[in-house]
Amino acid sequence: MRRLALLIAALLIAAPGEMLTGTVVDASGQPVEGARVRLRTSPSFVLTDAQGRFTLADPSTTPDAEITAALPGHIIGGAIVKHGIRAYRIQLPPIPAGDDPTYPWVTAFPEDDQAPRTDFGREPCGACHRRALTEWQESAHARSATNPRFLAFLDGSRRLAAGKVNSEGCGTCHVPMAPDDDPRRLADVAKEGIGCDFCHKIVEARPGTGNVTGVRAVELRRPPFGRQTVFGPFDDVPRGRDAFAPVFTESRYCAACHQARSGAGAIYSEFEEWQESRYVAAGITCQSCHMRGDGKATTMTELGPGRVARNPATLSSHRFHDSRTPDLLGQAVETAMTAHRDGEALVVTVEITNRGAGHRLPAGSPLRHMLLSLNAETDGRPLAMIDGPTLPSWAGAGLRGKPGRAYAKLFLDPASPGHPSLPWADANAVTDTRIRAGERDRSTWRFRLGVPGETRVEARLLVRRGFPEWAALLSIGTEDIAVATQRATLRH
């Protein structure tokens, strides 16, 4: 009796009127089991049973409601709810079989402000997805093919440390739409780097290994001429060419490029680091942080038949937030400093906590590193350090040998001890002093106090995107990014 009462209560809450029922079938009319069925944009869905049947609550308060059905490997189907009709049949056509390597990639850029006529569904992505286009243009993905830093390292005429770099393997991530993945053979849409059409042709992905990265570590489904298929994380876009791919919301989707091993260790290791963190159990993926929306957008498209109002929390950003996103690093890192007198010495302790990143800090290319610089002076005169860590020689002029700490994953050049080598060259030793997810680094320095006066201490934390000696050789900037500054004053 109690179970019956709970069932009746649930129905009254979920469906004030009659229920909507129906069947989901494939192209041959056979029932489809396990399809996700929902009223479009509803936060909840039901799964079809072995006979392809489903039951939904009555959308009596939602005019022009639409039922959608989706199953990976099929085009999303739908049906408009009509007054007085309670049963519906939705067909899910299969996605085109195989992958057509002759498929011409679609550009992200519209020719004008008007959405062009559909040419087999090949209109430029940005014609309708204007917000996403603007965000993507600000991202590193949009510059992956033309980034001067990337191109400088492909110049085989210059030697750096243990060796020189060639294009093998780099293009699989940086220029996935280029012929033969060669960054030196760019034309038309390939210059867009990691473009919209490439990402939305992926149906499966696996973590990168060695040279099996990027385009070689994903499964593409490029349709044949006259067809178009677009894959994504939404299962309720019944436009006749959209398909649901669960991998879009999983970290392994990102791992195709952001995980790569070669020789001594993982060059890119964000995915492995995330797997070791508490974020996995908490269900926090790469996309949760790096594609977090601004909470203001209400549609994924500004024009076209796919336009529909959605919960802002369900809409992702295509800015692909990184260290250049304002305050992203500030949200990930917590710094604290204490300073006190101990006899004739000044004792300074700095703690840095990785509180908000699901991987070690800093992350990404091994060229990136984080430097903590400490300065103590009395009435403008620097204090002599008694003991404590100092910054390495590769920190560059003005910082090397000064009080501080370096956080980096270094591929060491056997021929030049203490100097980082190219991670893509034949380095055979790796040291990693970066801060793990959720962990804290604590360092202490002692300085000799001199004459009485006012002593000021300043600790600065910055992220640098390249080693100064390499930057000078390749004529590229180091892009120092200030993360945090701590100050203290002591009178004695």
DSSP-derived 3-state class of residue 418: coil
What's the CA dihedral at 245, 247, 248, 253 to 10 degrees? -140
Joined tokens for residue 369: 């590193």
CB 266 within 8 Å of CB 260: yes
Predicted local confidence at residue 126, as pLDDT:
93
Joined tokens for residue 42: 């509803």
The segment(s) of the chain belonging to CATH 2.60.40.10 are: 328-491
- Cα separation, 223 vs 97, whole angstroms: 8
Joined tokens for residue 139: 């991202």
- Cα separation, 248 vs 56, whole angstroms: 26
Predicted local confidence at residue 266, as pLDDT:
83
Residue-by-residue DSSP string for 466-484: S-HHHHHHHT-----EEEE
Predicted local confidence at residue 264, as pLDDT:
59
Please, which residues bridge with residue 370 across strands? Answer: 407, 463
CB 409 within 8 Å of CB 383: no
Helical (H) or strand (E) element with 381 = strand 381-382
Q: How many CA atoms lie within 13 A of 210 on its CB side?
A: 2
Phi, psi of 311, deg, nearest 5: -65, 125
DSSP E strand stretches across 209-275: 218-220, 230-232, 242-244, 260-262, 265-268
Nearest Cα to Cα of residue 460 among 410, 405, 408:
405
Per-residue pLDDT 10s for the chain (492 aa) are: 444 343 333 333 334 457 899 999 999 999 999 999 999 999 999 999 999 999 998 766 566 789 999 999 999 999 999 888 889 999 999 999 999 999 999 999 987 654 444 455 678 999 999 999 999 999 999 999 998 888 887 765 444 444 444 445 788 899 999 877 667 668 789 999 999 999 999 999 999 987 789 999 999 999 999 899 999 999 999 999 999 999 999 999 999 999 987 765 788 999 999 999 999 999 999 999 999 999 999 999 988 777 899 999 999 999 999 988 988 999 999 999 999 999 999 999 999 999 999 999 999 988 899 999 999 999 989 999 999 999 999 999 889 999 999 999 988 766 666 677 766 665 556 889 999 999 999 999 999 998 888 999 999 999 998 888 888 877 887 778 999 999 999 988
What's the Cα-to-Cα distance from 102 to each of 182, 190, 225, 266, rounded to whole Å?
A: 17, 14, 9, 33
Joined tokens for residue 431: 């040291």
CB 76 within 8 Å of CB 67: no
CB 263 within 8 Å of CB 426: yes
- Cα separation, 464 vs 322, whole angstroms: 13
Query: Given the DSSP bridges, would you call strands 53-56 and 87-92 parallel, antiparallel or unpaired?
Result: unpaired
- Cα separation, 171 vs 118, whole angstroms: 31
Peptide bond into 207 cis (omega under 30): no
State whether CATH 2.60.40.10 applies to domain 328-491. yes
DSSP assignment letter at 104: P
Predicted local confidence at residue 167, as pLDDT:
47
The CATH number, out of the four listed (2.60.40.770, 1.10.10.10, 3.30.230.10, 2.60.40.1120), of the domain defined by the range 2-92: 2.60.40.1120
pTM (global) more than 0.85: yes
DSSP E strand stretches across 391-479: 404-412, 429-432, 440-448, 454-464
Please, which residues bridge with residue 6 across strands? Answer: none
The segment(s) of the chain belonging to CATH 2.60.40.1120 are: 2-92
Please, which residues bridge with residue 90 across strands? Answer: 24
CA triple 84-90-96, angle to 5 deg: 155
Phi-psi region of 355 (alpha: psi -120 to 50; beta: other; left: phi over 0): alpha
Q: Cα 469 to chain center, whole Å?
A: 29
Please, which residues bridge with residue 447 across strands? Answer: 346, 385
CA triple 485-491-492, angle to 5 deg: 135
CB 269 within 8 Å of CB 276: no
